[in-house]
Amino acid sequence: MLNMIKADFYRTVRSKAIYFAVILILVMLALDIYTVEPGSLGIHLSVDVGQQAEMSSELSQMDYEQLRALSMKDYRKLRLKVTGYSLDRDILASNMNLYYVFLVVAAVAVAADFSGSCAKNTLSSAISRKKYFVSKVVFVMLVCVILHFLNTYVMYFGNRLFNGGNLASDLGSVTRITLLQLPPVLAMAGILTGLAFLLKRMAVFNAVGIPFVMIVQMLLNFLRMALKLPEEVMHYELQTMIARLAMDPTLSYTLQSCAVCGGIVLLFGAAGWFSFRRAEIR
Amino acid sequence: MRETVLQARRLSKSYGSFRALDNVDLAVYKGDICGLIGRNGAGKTTIMKIITGLAEKSGGEFELFQRPGEALGDEKRRIGCLIENPAFFGGLTARQNLQYYAIQKGIADRRQIDRALELVNLSDVGNKKFRKLSLGMKQRLGIALALMDHPDFVILDEPINGLDPIGIRELRDTFQRLNAEEEITFLISSHILSELYMTANRFLILDRGRVLKELTKEELDLACMRCLAVHVGDLKQAAVILEQNGISDYKVIDGKELRVYDEAIRPERLNRLLMEGGVDVSAVFETGISLEDYFTSLVDGREQ
């Protein structure tokens, strides 16, 4: 199994897709750091869990039209004057964007194997299905965790370098947030690996994987309203968990999130495994 | 008794109502180059997919290296195979692709990659990306992967597809040399009978999911050889008459037919000898057919 993981690392570092994923992270971070405002890309926070920053008088006095008229450079200047605000913490709260980076990882590691029929080379003469499945899950999770940490520290040092210490937390805090966010990160990796084993073909995987979290969010919201469920239900949706775990969560919430994320990993792992276990490999 | 590498008993596979394999019994012995002959859809690839674990059987059982096939585990490494088309990662070079699978299999000696490329004459294009290789080169790379790591049993599905005549001959020589020198057992499927005939030493003829015939190369030669076939009432008496007349190169085929392979014997003389000896002769005719005709007659016989 270790050999499988090593081989996947060998292949992944020779694949353009992973560099595309890293560049995507860097571009997202660069924009967040430059505009001094996260979440203007991709999925925005679905619930307001942001910090109550003390806005500079200039920004707080502007209306929407005036804000829109500002150039990016001017907007940055005004944002830099904001006090009592940790940009890095806010950027970590919007880490759901990493889902699309993780999607690339799962596509390269699993879907490409099935789509290009390369899985048959491995399964016919190297390894059992069980070991193949477990090693792929472990590999995807491992790479996602590496990218998650890379994202944190590039962001942290980038923010300090370009924006100074005024908008930065300390290294211990961002590390703590990164660790707290591990369960939802692993859940995202689990969802994507499960989907890749379930759907197998790259085109189908992309078609389902890309809108998947948004559809789940919409469904949860719909169910909450239709069944008159408490607002707290949405606290256990992935994007909200990522955001809330970045904002000094309570111990009980942290543990509940761990349990929910564990459940997600198990659910999608089971779906992927049962679909793959007896499937004919083409 | 010869050691079996693969033994299948009543192996079946159904896709919905379609029965791709129907109670197949077969054996591949150590040291064989076993040719799997059959039309498209006969079940050749299905057999290969089941024994390599790429497809589930619907019934029956099989053993690989005298162990239940499903329980093979890490012994899978003793198998090298190329099933259907060669599949590799287009963005990696030929060598990197082999390196990837070498890491997977835990092959520490990277010289095995060079050896495998050399065996299929791909050493010169090892650094070329897979997607840029020609069809024949891709096929050879698939064979190189199957031959890497000194397998005991190599399973090749239509390995000569897309190869030029020189490439075909080179590969045939490679298979025969590996079989002779390293005792590698081969199971090779093809519908190009003449090529399979030149490579294999045992044949399994499949049609519509059933094994129609299992025979050695000698038996196949005999079945296809030009001869005189004679249908007689009393086989024992006929054999005595042939022996008395110095004709010893003959073979009893079934309860009423024997075949004489002595080219000097004319049909009219054979008929006269038997008649004079009191043996009823219902037919004397020249026979002997090409491989294609033999295969066709087997398949047609089943269809009728």
Spell out which residues of chain A touch residue B98, defining contact as CB-CB under 8 Å: none
Position B79 in a domain? yes
Across the interface, whether the CB atoms of B145 and A15 are under 8 A apart is answered no
- Which phi and psi (to 5°) does residue A164 adopt? 80, 180
Across the interface, whether the CB atoms of B73 and A128 are under 8 A apart is answered yes
Across the interface, whether the CB atoms of B91 and A15 are under 8 A apart is answered yes
Long-range contacts of A57-62 (CB under 8 A, 24+ apart): none
Mean pLDDT of A158-187: 91
| Distance, CA of A235 to CA of A221 (rounded, Å) | 11
Instruction: Name the pLDDT band for A45 (thresholds 50, 70, 90).
Output: very low
Judged by average pLDDT, the poorest of A175-179, A186-190, A272-276, B258-262 is B258-262
Which pLDDT score is estimated for A199?
93
Which pLDDT score is estimated for B11?
92
Which pLDDT score is estimated for A46?
40
- Domain end (from B199, B220, B241): B220
Residues B152 and B214 reside in one and the same domain = yes
| A9, A118, A124, A201: best to mutate for the B interface, most B CBs within 10 A | A124
Angle between helices A129-163 and A98-106 (to 10 degrees): 150
Position B240 in a domain? yes
Residues B12 and B36 reside in one and the same domain = yes
Spell out which residues of chain A touch residue B77, defining contact as CB-CB under 8 Å: 125-126
Spell out which residues of chain A touch residue B146, defining contact as CB-CB under 8 Å: 125
Residue among B56, B84, B100 minimizing CB distance to A11: B100
Instruction: Name the pLDDT band for A54 (thresholds 50, 70, 90).
Output: low
Residues B273 and B142 reside in one and the same domain = no
Residues B38 and B72 reside in one and the same domain = yes
Which pLDDT score is estimated for A47?
40
Which pLDDT score is estimated for B12?
93
By C-alpha distance, the chain A residue nearest B108 is: A3
Across the interface, whether the CB atoms of B103 and A128 are under 8 A apart is answered no
**Higher-confidence position of B101 and B218:** B101
Across the interface, whether the CB atoms of A6 and B103 are under 8 A apart is answered yes
Judged by average pLDDT, the poorest of A132-141, B31-40, B70-79 is B70-79
Query: Which of A17, A214, A3 is CA-nearest to residue A107?
Result: A17
The CATH number that applies at residue B267 is 3.30.70.100
| Distance, CA of A12 to CA of A139 (rounded, Å) | 10
Cα-trace Rg, chain A = 20
Q: Residue A53 pLDDT more than 80?
A: no
Q: Report CA dihedral (A21, A23, A26, A32) to the nearest 10 degrees.
A: -80
Across the interface, whether the CB atoms of B101 and A281 are under 8 A apart is answered no
Position B292 in a domain? no
Would you list the domain boundaries of chain A?
2-43+55-277
By C-alpha distance, the chain A residue nearest B73 is: A128
Instruction: Name the pLDDT band for B153 (thresholds 50, 70, 90).
Output: very high
Residues B279 and B264 reside in one and the same domain = yes
Q: Residue A111 pLDDT more than 90?
A: yes
Across the interface, whether the CB atoms of A124 and B85 are under 8 A apart is answered no
- Asked if B10 and B24 touch (Cβ cutoff 8 Å), the reply is yes
- Element of type H or E holding B63: strand B59-64
Across the interface, whether the CB atoms of B79 and A124 are under 8 A apart is answered yes
pLDDT digits (tens, 9 = 90+) for A21-33: 899 889 988 988 8
Position B40 in a domain? yes
Q: Residue B228 pLDDT more than 70?
A: yes
Residues B44 and B76 reside in one and the same domain = yes
Long-range contacts of B123-127 (CB under 8 A, 24+ apart): B125/B94, B126/B93, B126/B94, B126/B95, B127/B93, B127/B94, B127/B95
By C-alpha distance, the chain A residue nearest B55 is: A280
Judged by average pLDDT, the poorest of A102-106, B239-243, B247-251 is B247-251
Q: Is A14 on the interface with B (CB under 8 A)?
A: yes
Residue A162 CB partners (closer than 8 Å, separation 6+): A33, A34
Instruction: Name the pLDDT band for A56 (thresholds 50, 70, 90).
Output: low
DSSP string, B183-237: --EEEEEES-HHHHHHH-SEEEEEETTEEEEEEEHHHHHHHHS-EEEEEES-HHH
Across the interface, whether the CB atoms of B104 and A3 are under 8 A apart is answered yes
**Higher-confidence position of A5 and A66:** A5
**How far off is chain A from B244, nearest CA to CA, in Å?**
58
Calculate the average pLDDT of chain A: 87
Mean pLDDT of A52-76: 73
- Asked if A180 and A135 touch (Cβ cutoff 8 Å), the reply is no
Q: Going by DSSP bridges, is the β-strand pair B67-68/B59-64 parallel, antiparallel, or unpaired?
A: antiparallel
Residues B191 and B56 reside in one and the same domain = yes
Spell out which residues of chain A touch residue B100, defining contact as CB-CB under 8 Å: 7, 10-11
Q: Residue A51 pLDDT more than 90?
A: no
Across the interface, whether the CB atoms of B54 and A3 are under 8 A apart is answered no
pLDDT digits (tens, 9 = 90+) for B262-302: 878 888 889 999 999 899 999 998 887 777 778 887 777 66
Q: Residue B98 pLDDT more than 70?
A: yes
Single pTM value for the model: 0.84
ipTM: 0.85
Residues B120 and B159 reside in one and the same domain = yes
Q: Residue A42 pLDDT more than 70?
A: no
Spell out which residues of chain B touch residue A126, defining contact as CB-CB under 8 Å: 76-77, 101, 104-105
Q: Is A73 on the interface with B (CB under 8 A)?
A: no
Structural domains counted in chain B:
2
Residue among A116, A120, A127 minimizing CB distance to B89: A116
Residue among A118, A121, A125 minimizing CB distance to B77: A125
Residues B82 and B138 reside in one and the same domain = yes
Position B304 in a domain? no
Mean pLDDT of B112-140: 90
By C-alpha distance, the chain B residue nearest A129 is: B53
Across the interface, whether the CB atoms of A118 and B87 are under 8 A apart is answered yes
Across the interface, whether the CB atoms of A281 and B104 are under 8 A apart is answered no
Which pLDDT score is estimated for A35?
83
Q: Residue B207 pLDDT more than 70?
A: yes
| Distance, CA of B2 to CA of B21 (rounded, Å) | 26
Residues B205 and B255 reside in one and the same domain = no
Domain holding B208, by residue range, is 4-220
Residue among A14, A123, A280 minimizing CB distance to B96: A14
Residue among B83, B96, B99 minimizing CB distance to A124: B83
**Higher-confidence position of B294 and B216:** B216
Chain B: residues touching A (Cβ < 8 Å): 49, 52-56, 73, 76-77, 79-81, 83-85, 87-92, 96, 99-101, 103-106, 145-146, 151, 155
Residue among B79, B88, B151 minimizing CB distance to A118: B88
Mean pLDDT of A68-95: 82
Judged by average pLDDT, the poorest of A86-90, A169-173, B235-239, B276-280 is A86-90
Q: Is A228 on the interface with B (CB under 8 A)?
A: no
Which pLDDT score is estimated for B303?
54
Which pLDDT score is estimated for B297?
79
- Domain end (from B220, B240, B269): B220
Residues B58 and B200 reside in one and the same domain = yes
| Distance, CA of B98 to CA of B114 (rounded, Å) | 9
Residues B231 and B216 reside in one and the same domain = no
The most confident of the ranges A51-55, B2-6, B185-189, B242-246 is B185-189
Across the interface, whether the CB atoms of B87 and A116 are under 8 A apart is answered yes
Across the interface, whether the CB atoms of A7 and B103 are under 8 A apart is answered yes
| B58, B67, B82, B103: best to mutate for the A interface, most A CBs within 10 A | B103
- Cα separation of the two ends of chain A: 22
Long-range contacts of A235-238 (CB under 8 A, 24+ apart): A235/A47, A236/A260, A237/A46, A238/A96, A238/A99, A238/A184, A238/A187, A238/A188, A238/A213, A238/A264
Task: Tell me how many residue pairs between chain A and chain B have CB atoms under 8 A apart.
Answer: 84
Q: What percent of chain A has pLDDT over 90?
A: 52
